Chains A and B, each alone.
Chain A
Amino acid sequence: MSPDYAPEVLRGWGLSTMSSARVATVSERDVVDHVKDADERGVLVRGLGRSYGDAAQNGGGRVLRLASSPSDVRLDEAAGTVTVGAGVSLDDLLRVIVPRGFFVPVTPGTRFVTVGGAVAADIHGKNHHLEGSFGNHVRRFSLVLADGSVLECSREQNPDAFWTTIGGMGLTGVIRDVTFGLIRIETSRCRVDTVRCDDFDELIEQMSTGDDDVRYSVAWVDLLSGGARFGRGVLWRGDHARRDDLPVADRADALAYGPRQLVSVPPVVPGPGVVNALSSAVFNELWFRKEPRRREGSIKSIPAYFHPLDAVGSWNRLYGGHGFVQYQFLIPFGRETELRLIVEAIVASRLATPLVVLKRFGVGNDAPLSFPMPGWTLTVDLPAGAATLASLTHALDDIVLDAGGRHYLAKDALLGPDAIRVGYPRLAEWQAVRDRLDPQRNFRSDLARRLGLME
């Protein structure tokens, strides 16, 4: 056992949850020695800490950071697959594969997540309606179990462990290296169509038609305006640009890729932060107005289209000391009345910030704790310091669960054990396999304790 564990206070990306753990950085090879003799507070792997709540915290226990080398990216160009250590970030990976004509099969709104985290949270992106979540593209991975043995997992080999680990929030073992399929691209640019919608009905109508013809689709909704502007938004649809889509001058270096951080938010943001009702309302008006009614075929870079917030380092600090929660839920298709009810409640609460995303999901996968299934998913940042936050989200939780929907574990920082059991009816099935893989319950997290995932 290596002695370099140091106590560290760990927070979620929302900065609204915290606990202290003993933290160490270990290599993929040594990780087997760090999981075996865990005490009753357990052990957990933490990636880049982008889950918003307490999913990557383990109060009083051990937290491991996996030192995977980005130089160890094995790209199989013929098969269109890549094999990487689980600690490699999508940022590192994209710098290797984009110039060689490949893109990750699923990307969230930030490239600062690890491949292991992408599997554990079964992340989704703007292409979910056609191509599913990250787990759909995973061919295999190796899993270090609590007894130190290594299990090879795929759809054919140990399929139970495979699907329990996908979306399993790191609670089945340590994902060590992963092989997954990639998207072939001709350029590092995207071709984007924009449609501005004046109200909620128009937005839902626009999104409900034509999504299936386009790879990437996502909308922004103004959750601060009421009346005639209620639910107005902007829909962006796009795909990777073909070489012919680029201006002639750019075609020679069509796969050039060099994302940069433009600015960073300092560690201390005064008082309640700089995101408030006034600044948000001004932002929303400008954001809506800057978009034309309809525009087709504009060319954007990968960072500008997929990861705009990554241009601002530590943007999560803008909310001030209390931090924020990113409330993300899903409502099945056919329950648009409930979706509208929720949007009305959020607008009435006046708590919303400009960071809002509405997206249509396609079919889910076989993982019992995977979040996506056919329906609408809405994501909104809410300030954690607001006195009315809990009463708002408790009311929304009831509507979501009554409509047969659920919440995304990688974002959640508010729910209790009951809500998870309603939203994820296959939890018991997941628990049974998890307990078989880790009978001593060595793998633990604050999220698991809060939601009673082990009980």
Chain B
Amino acid sequence: MLNAAGEPQNIVVLGGSSDIGVAIARRLAAPSTKSIVLACRRPDEAPVDGLRRPGLEVQAVSFDAVRVEHHASFVDSLVAAHGDIDVAVVAFGQLGEQSRFGDDPVAAADLVTVNFAGAVSVLLALARVMRRQGHGRIVVLSSVAGERVRPANMVYGATKAGLDGFSLALGDSLVTSGVGVLVVRPGFVRSAMTQGMEAAPFATTPDAVADATVKALRAGRRIVWAPGILRYVFMVLRHLPAPLWRRLPLG
């Protein structure tokens, strides 16, 4: 479990090749941390070496967000191998190509399956074991794209809107169980996912998101924006009249 300084013994990153997920694990790892598990579709490509140090076991294991029928047994196997899960980071997700979805609704549905159905399924599996252990923290990577969904990435944005709402409610449902859910809402992050794209205003980095996340985790918060100013930006954007909203040059 987390010690008084918020240091975990066991960390699991679902979406273990995600730049932000790995940055959060790196930032959370403390001298008393025993294990970090990076769970992803291609474990041989997970950046385990960058996290290794003496006394800390870092492992990459195979996990597919789409194979929802395996999620519960997958989470159980993590507990069997490492003991209580102190912090789980749900960081997987795909951006997709919005321009393709008009002609390929199946591809859109696949994206929804990964980003939303897969996340809901694994979040419920995590909540179940954490409720049983009486403690634990779940970090969910949402996005400002879900705060008010834009036409330019409406499928991705809608999955994040759904995930964000589900995660907040999941956190509320766990209130007497000793388990907490933190929803992270980053803006544009310069990472592998956004390679080649033009940066939006208030662009940030995986490390900056990780810093804000770990701080919010220690403070026991429910929501964190990265960078923090986006909270106020979206307070305004959320209420913009639709004709104005559509014309905004948000990339």
From known contacts A7-B177, A415-B32, infer whether A59 and B4 are also in contact, taking CB-CB under 8 Å.
no
Which residues in A have their C-beta under 8 angstroms from that of B34?
416
Does A274 interact with chain B (Cβ within 8 Å)?
Answer: no
Shortest beta-carbon distance from A82 to chain B in Å: 35
Mark B206-221 against chain A: 1 for CB-CB distance below 8 A, else 0.
Answer: 0000000000001110
From known contacts A61-B134, A416-B31, A449-B84, infer whether A390 and B5 are also in contact, taking CB-CB under 8 Å.
yes
B178 touching A18 by the CB < 8 A rule?
Answer: yes
Query: Given the complex of chains A and B, what is the CA–CA distance between A384 and B219 in angstroms?
Result: 10
Which residues in B have their C-beta under 8 angstroms from that of A393?
5
Which residues in A have their C-beta under 8 angstroms from that of B178?
9, 18-21, 59-60
B1 touching A59 by the CB < 8 A rule?
Answer: yes
Q: Number of A interface residues at 8 Å Cβ cutoff, please give it.
A: 37
Which residues in A have their C-beta under 8 angstroms from that of B135?
18-20, 59-60, 446
Which residues in A have their C-beta under 8 angstroms from that of B31?
394, 416
B220 touching A321 by the CB < 8 A rule?
Answer: yes
From known contacts A18-B178, A415-B32, infer whether A54 and B132 are also in contact, taking CB-CB under 8 Å.
no
Does A36 interact with chain B (Cβ within 8 Å)?
Answer: no
From 125 to 145 in chain B, residues with beta carbon under 8 angstroms from any chain A beta carbon are 131-135
Which residues in A have their C-beta under 8 angstroms from that of B228?
none
Which residues in A have their C-beta under 8 angstroms from that of B4?
12, 14, 16-17, 53, 323, 325, 384, 413-414
Does B203 interact with chain A (Cβ within 8 Å)?
Answer: no
Query: Given the complex of chains A and B, what is the CA–CA distance between A393 and B133 in angstroms?
Result: 27
B176 touching A59 by the CB < 8 A rule?
Answer: no
Which residues in A have their C-beta under 8 angstroms from that of B133?
19, 41, 59-60
Q: Number of B interface residues at 8 Å Cβ cutoff, please give it.
A: 26
Does B115 interact with chain A (Cβ within 8 Å)?
Answer: no
Q: In this complex, what residue of A is CB-closest to B175? A: A9
Q: In this complex, what residue of A is CB-closest to B215? A: A387
Shortest beta-carbon distance from B91 to chain A in Å: 24
Query: Given the complex of chains A and B, what is the CA–CA distance between A325 and B1 in angstroms?
Result: 16
Which residues in B have their C-beta under 8 angstroms from that of A18?
135, 178
- Most chain B CB within 10 A, of A60, A321, A414, is at A60
Mark A223-253 against chain B: 1 for CB-CB distance below 8 A, else 0.
Answer: 0000000000000000000000000000000
B176 touching A7 by the CB < 8 A rule?
Answer: yes
Query: Given the complex of chains A and B, what is the CA–CA distance between A418 and B101 in angstroms?
Result: 54
From 357 to 411 in chain A, residues with beta carbon under 8 angstroms from any chain B beta carbon are 384-385, 389-390, 393-394
Does A450 interact with chain B (Cβ within 8 Å)?
Answer: yes
Query: Given the complex of chains A and B, what is the CA–CA distance between A394 and B133 in angstroms?
Result: 27
Which residues in B have their C-beta under 8 angstroms from that of A450?
1, 3, 9
- Most chain A CB within 10 A, of B5, B32, B178, B179, is at B5
B1 touching A54 by the CB < 8 A rule?
Answer: yes
Shortest beta-carbon distance from A37 to chain B in Å: 17
Q: In this complex, what residue of A is CB-closest to B220? A: A321
Shortest beta-carbon distance from A38 to chain B in Å: 14
From known contacts A14-B4, A449-B84, infer whether A390 and B177 are also in contact, taking CB-CB under 8 Å.
no
From known contacts A449-B83, A450-B1, infer whether A416 and B219 are also in contact, taking CB-CB under 8 Å.
no
Mark A30-59 against chain B: 1 for CB-CB distance below 8 A, else 0.
Answer: 000000000001000000000001100011
Query: Given the complex of chains A and B, what is the CA–CA distance between A446 and B131 in angstroms?
Result: 15
Does B30 interact with chain A (Cβ within 8 Å)?
Answer: yes
Shortest beta-carbon distance from B167 to chain A in Å: 19
B3 touching A414 by the CB < 8 A rule?
Answer: yes
Which residues in B have their C-beta under 8 angstroms from that of A16?
4-5
From known contacts A7-B176, A19-B178, A20-B177, infer whether A60 and B134 are also in contact, taking CB-CB under 8 Å.
yes
Q: Would you list 16 pairs from A and B whose C-beta atoms are within 8 A, ordered by A residue?
A: A7-B177, A18-B135, A19-B133, A21-B178, A59-B84, A60-B131, A323-B4, A325-B5, A385-B218, A389-B5, A390-B30, A414-B32, A416-B32, A418-B55, A446-B1, A449-B84
Given pairs A321-B220, A325-B5, A414-B7, 17 additional interface contacts (CB within 8 A): A7-B176, A12-B4, A17-B4, A18-B135, A20-B134, A20-B176, A20-B178, A60-B131, A60-B135, A390-B5, A413-B4, A414-B3, A414-B32, A416-B32, A416-B34, A450-B1, A450-B9
Top-9 shortest CB links A-B: A59-B134, A20-B178, A416-B32, A60-B134, A413-B4, A16-B4, A19-B135, A390-B5, A20-B134
